[in-house]
Amino acid sequence: MSRFASSPVAAILGPTNTGKTHLAVERMCAHSSGMIGFPLRLLAREVYDRVVAIKGAEQVALITGEERIVPPGARWFLCTAESMPLDRDVAFVALDEAQLGADPERGHVFTDRLLRARGREETLILGSEALRPMIRALLPDTEIVGRPRFSTLSYAGAKKLTRLPRRSAIVAFSAEEVYAVAETIRRLRGGAAVVMGALSPRTRNAQVAMFQAGEVDYLVATDAIGMGLNMDVAHVAFASLRKYDGRRARRLTIAEMAQIAGRAGRHQRDGTFGTLGAEDGPGAFAPEEIEAIEAHVFPPLESLYWRDGAPDLSSLDALLAALDARPTAPQLRAAPEAVDLAVLRRLAGEDWVRARVRTPAMVRRLWAACGLPDFRKTGAEHHARFVGRIFAHLSEGHVPHQWFADEIARLDRVAGDVDALADRIAAIRSWAYIAHRPDWLADPLHWAERTRAIEERLSDALHAALTQRFVDRRTSVLLREIGAGLAELPVGIGDDGEVRVDDEPIGRLDGFTFTPLPGARHADARRLIAAADRRLAGERARRARALADSPDADFALATEAGAAPLLCWQGRPVAGLAATRELLRPRLVLDRAAAALDPASRDLILARLDRWLDGQTARHLGPLRRIAAAATDMATPAGLRALLAPLAEAGGLCARAPLDPVIAALDRGARSRLRAAGVTIGALDLFVAPLLKPEAARWCAALLAVRQQAPMPALAPPGAVVIALSGGTPPPGFRALGPQALRVDMAERIARTVHDARRPGAPVVPDPALGVSLGLVPAAFARLMTQLGFRPVAAAGGGESPPAWRWQGRPRRAAAGTRAARPDSPFAALAGLLP
C-alpha cells in the first residue's frame, strides 16, 4: 500500500451517462493538484483539453505512452492508467473505468492503481456498479456512492442500415468490419465518420468533429467509444455481438454491451440501442440481455486480475519471480501473461542480455524497455526482437541519433491509402514512445517534437483519406436537402460551369450536359443527375438562347481520328451529323442533353447550327458545291453530268480509270468547263485542287465519314506532300505508293513531267531529283511509274545509272489508294449510256 493509504477514498459507481468523469474533473480542479488515470489515450487527451481551458496550459500535464506534455509548473495530470506517475505527491487522484481490473489483458494495471494510487486529500474510484463487491472486499473503508443514469436507455430492435435513424453510431469489432460498414453507409447515406482506438487523437478528433458538426449523420466505430468518449449519439447499433479479445472470438459480456450501448443519449436526452440485421439468431440480443442493459443491472465481478505493480528490481531473476508471484487475496487472480512479460521472458533467455543486466539500474532499464507497447500488433516474438535492439542501445547509453532519425524519416510520408497511413501511425507511435522516455535519447525534447510533427502530418493525411473514402459530401448534402423535395434544392452554377448544392460541388454543366464529379459512385451519380435535371432546366434554356446568338467563332467541327465528327459550341459537343441523299447537306442530330430540352430551345439550336454548317460548307467546299449543283442541273450536258455526279459524291477526288469511257466522250467545250470548275483530269485521278487544302480536305473527309457511317480517318499533317505509310488506307487526298503516300496533285505533276519526256520507241530516264525533291524513296517512285503505265528496263550505261522506263500504256483499272465513284450511285449508270 502507498504512503497515502489512509487518505479518504470514495467509489463513484454507476452506468454510463451518470456524470462520473465530469464529477472527477470538477473535484480535481477544486484541489491544489491532482491526477486522473484513464483507460484510453483518446479520453485522456479529451479531458486534458478541457482542463487546459480551465487552468491554463502551463499548469496542466498530459502523460500517455506516446505523448508527454509536462510543463515545469504542472499541478494537474491527465494520464493513461499505465502512465500514471505514482511517485508524485498530489492532493487528488482518480481512476476512471476501474472495472477494467477484470480485463485479462490490462486488468492487472487497473487493479494495481485501484490498490496503490492515492491522493493526499482525496481519492475517487470511478466504475461500473459491478465493481461494488470488489471494492467492499479489497477496500472495506471506502465510501461507495451510486449514481443513476441521467437519461433512459431503451431497446429499439434490429434495423437495416438503410433504416437507421440519423445520429446513429454503428459499432463493429475489427477494422475490416468498420471499413465495410462505412463503405455501405457512404453509398447509401452519404458517408460516416470513423473512430477506432488505433487512431491518433488528432485523427479521431477530426472525425468526431465532422459527426458533431452534422457534416455526416453516422459514426462507425470499434468498442473504443464505450470508454467515456462523449458524443451526440442518439442510437447505437451493434454490427456484431462477438469480438476477438486477443485469444479467442467470444460473445460480448452484458457489461460490455451496456458500456457500448450507454453511449446513446447524453445528459437529459434519451437513447436507444439495437442491432443490424435480423431480430433472431446469434447476432441478436437475448431477452435477458436487453432487460439487464435497460435496467443497468449486471452480474457483479467475482475477481480482478493482479500482478505485482512494484516488482523487485534487484536482479533479473528476482524481477521474473516477482512478476510470477501469486496474489494473496482471494478476490485477486494472477494476470495472464501480457506482452511486456512475454518479451521479458524471451530476452531473459538471451545470453547477451543476462551479460548486460548485472545491476538493479540495468534491470530497471530492461523492464522499462519491455514496457514499450506493441502498437503494430506484430506479436510477442517479433516485438521482442525490436525491444531487444532498443535495449542493446540503452545498455550502452542512448538510442543512436542517426538510427532513430533514419527510422522516423522512413515513416514521414503521407502518400498511400487508409491502411498504409494507419500502419505508419502505429509505427511512429513506437518511436514517439521512445522519444518521450527522458533518458533514452541524447536529445529527447527534440525527437519528441519531431515524432509529434510526423504523427500530426500522418494523422491529417489519414483523416483526409478516411473522409475521401467514407464520406461523399455531395451525396450527404443532397440527402439532407432531399427531405424538402428536389425542387427546393439550393443549386448554384459558377461561371466555369461548376454546379453546387448548398455550396458543395456536385458536378459540372458542360454545354447542356451535366457530369457528376469524378469519384461519385453509380447510385450517387443517379441522385446527383436527378437533382440537377430538376433545377438546371432554366440554365439550359438560357444557354440555348446564348447559342442562338453566338458568333460563328464560337462553333467548330471536331474531327478526331477514329471518332464520329461532332459540332461543338464553345468547345463542347452539342450535335452530330447523319447522312442524307446529299453529301453536303447532312442531317443535324442533337446530343442527348440538348435533345432533352424543351421544343423551343431545340428549334433555336438546330436553326443556328444549320446556318453555321451551311456557311462553313460554302466557305471551305465552294468548288464542290458548284460541281454538285452542275451535276443536277438539267442544262448541263449529259456527258458532263456523268462525270461531275460521281466526282461530287466522292468529295472532289476519284480514280480516273472507271471514268475513262466518260472522259473519252467529252468534247473540247466540256473539258473547258471542267477546267473552269477547277477539275483536273489527271493521268491517274480526277480531283479539284482547291479541295486538297488542309481545311477543305478535313471537311470533305468528315462529310464522307458521315455518308459512309464510318469513323473519321486520320488526316495528313497540314502542308504534307509525302507521308510514310505502313499498310492501311492513305489519308484523304493521297495516293498509296507502297511504303509512302503521295498527294494526288504532286503525283499528277510527276506524271506530266515523265510523259513530256517520252520519245517514240525510246525508254524514259526520269531525273532522280524529280522524286527526291518531294521526299519519295526509290521504291515509292518505282510504284508510281508502274501505276502510270511504265515498266523498268536496263539503263543504257548500266552500273549506277538511273533506271530507265518503257511506256506500255496506262492500266485500265482503278489504282489503290484513291476514291473511285460509288458503283451503286444512280449517276454512275450514266457512264454506261455513253458510246
pLDDT value at 745 more than 90: yes
Q: What are the pLDDT digits (tens) for 454-484?
A: 999 999 999 888 888 887 665 565 555 554 4
* Residue that wins the pLDDT comparison between 230 and 105: 105
What is the pTM for the complete model shown?
0.59
Q: What is the pLDDT of residues 640-663, one digit of tens each?
A: 999 999 999 999 999 999 999 999
* Mean pLDDT computed over every residue of the chain: 87
For the chain, domains (ranges, CATH) are: 9-146 (3.40.50.300), 153-295 (3.40.50.300), 311-470 (no CATH), 473-535 (no CATH), 556-720 (no CATH), 734-807 (no CATH)
Q: What's the confidence (pLDDT) of residue 244?
A: 82
What percentage of the chain reaches a pLDDT higher than 90? 56
Greater confidence (219 vs 810) lies with 219
d(CA 521, CA 514): 15
pLDDT recorded at residue 187: 77
Please state, in angstroms and rounded to a whole number, the distance separating the CA atoms of residues 747 and 753: 10
Model pLDDT for residues 5-24, shown as the tens digit of each residue: 446 899 999 888 788 999 99
pLDDT at 277 over 80: no
Residue listed under C-alpha cell 524497455:
369
List phi, psi (to 5°) of 698: -65, -45
* Mean pLDDT value of segment 731-746: 93
418-462 pLDDT per residue, tens: 888 989 999 999 999 999 988 899 999 899 999 999 999 999 999
Mean pLDDT, range 701-709, rounded to an integer: 94
- Rounded CA separation 815/810 (Å): 11
Answer for the pair 92, 31: CB distance below 8 angstroms, yes or no: yes
pLDDT given for residue 585 in this prediction: 93
The percentage of residues in the chain with a pLDDT greater than 70, rounded to a whole number, is: 89
Question: Which H or E element spans position 322?
Answer: helix 316-323
- Rounded to the nearest 10°, the torsion over CA 228, 231, 236, 242 is -40
Rounded CA-CA distance 472/505 in Å is 11
Signed CA dihedral, 723, 727, 728, 734: sign only: positive
Would the CA dihedral through 437, 438, 442, 448 be positive or negative?
A: positive
pLDDT score of 229 more than 80: no
d(Cα 106, Cα 341) in Å, to the nearest integer?
12
Q: In what order do the strands lie in the sheet with 235-238?
A: 153-159, 271-276, 235-238, 168-171, 218-221, 193-195
Q: Name the band, by pLDDT with cuts 50, 70 and 90, for residue 521.
A: low
pLDDT at 816 over 50: no
What's the rounded Cα separation, in Å, for the pair 20 and 459? 30
Do residues 558 and 565 lie in contact, with contact meaning Cβ atoms separated by under 8 Å? yes
Is 756 a residue whose pLDDT tops 80? yes
Q: Give residue 386's pLDDT.
A: 95
Reference 312, options 321, 304, 303; nearest CA is 321
Does 168 score more than 80 pLDDT? Answer: yes
Residue that wins the pLDDT comparison between 197 and 606:
606
Q: Which residue has the higher pLDDT, 235 or 267?
A: 235
| Partner residues linked to 688 by β-bridges | 679
Q: Report pLDDT digits (tens) over 373-414.
A: 998 888 889 999 999 999 999 999 999 999 999 999 999 999
Give the pLDDT of residue 740: 92
